[in-house]
Amino acid sequence: MGDYIVLAISCILINNILLAQYLGNCPFLGTSKKMETAVGMAMAVVFVLVLAGVITWIVNTFILQRFGLEYLRTLSFILVIAALVQFVEMFLKKSIPALYAGLGIFLPLITTNCAVMGVCLINVNEEYTFLQALVTSFSYAVGFGLALILFAGVRERILLARVPKPLQDTSIALVTAGILSLTFFAFKGMV
């Protein structure tokens, strides 16, 4: 049990997918202008990442490794994740319309997200067990959400600040992301 908690903490804080691994930067900048959007996006990522982590682990273990086709990982993962997201979208629309109303618009945006892809590949490279893969996927997603929401909060404040012209908008956002990332480096060596 202890191991899983350590694993979760390391995924959320130490190896934060956004701020330590620099994956998923497009939605990080794109959906962080408003707190509301950021929260929606964070929820959607948790949802999709857990599903994608599980299903790619299954595909990798039972199909690719069995036939010795590890080199097809990237290709097949893209295919599987895309189909999965589409499937989930249809499922939600029919069965849980309330959840669809909340997450629906963000789902297609995640289809080809590198954070999702990255987590799936990390799971496989680290040769995690199924349960470990489940925990890491969930934790990375939570880490993504945490960073995104923190960042959205900061950006809402930046709107009110006196920013020099050449640094306005995306430039200052990247500088902020850098500083935010530095603070996360403080967790290094904790585990």
Cα separation of 46 and 82, whole Å?
A: 16
Closest separation in Å from C-beta 79 to another protein: 6
Q: Is 93 in the site for another protein (CB under 8 A)?
A: yes
CA pair distance 18, 177, nearest whole angstrom: 9
Q: Within 10 Å of residue 157's Cβ, how many Cβ atoms?
A: 9
Please tell me whether residue 66 adopts helix, strand or coil conformation: coil
Give the number of C-alpha atoms closer than 13 A to the C-alpha of residue 173, restricted to the C-beta side. 20
Residue with Cβ nearer another protein (108 or 178): 108
- Judged by CB under 8 A, the residue of 87, 153, 178, 185 near another protein is 87
Q: Which of 25, 65, 74, 86 is in the footprint of another protein by CB under 8 A?
A: 86
Cβ closer to another protein: 157 or 189?
Answer: 157
Q: Which residues contact 33 (CB under 8 A, 6 or more apart)?
A: 152, 155, 156
Which of positions 58-77 make contact with another protein (CB under 8 A)? 59, 63-64, 67, 69, 72, 75-76
Applying the rule CB under 8 A, the residues between 20 and 49 that interact with another protein are 37, 40
Distances (CA, A) of 171 to 24, 37, 155: 17, 20, 12
Footprint on this chain of another protein (rule: CB under 8 A): 37, 40, 59, 63-64, 67, 69, 72, 75-76, 79-80, 82-83, 86-87, 90-91, 93-95, 105-106, 108-109, 159-162, 168
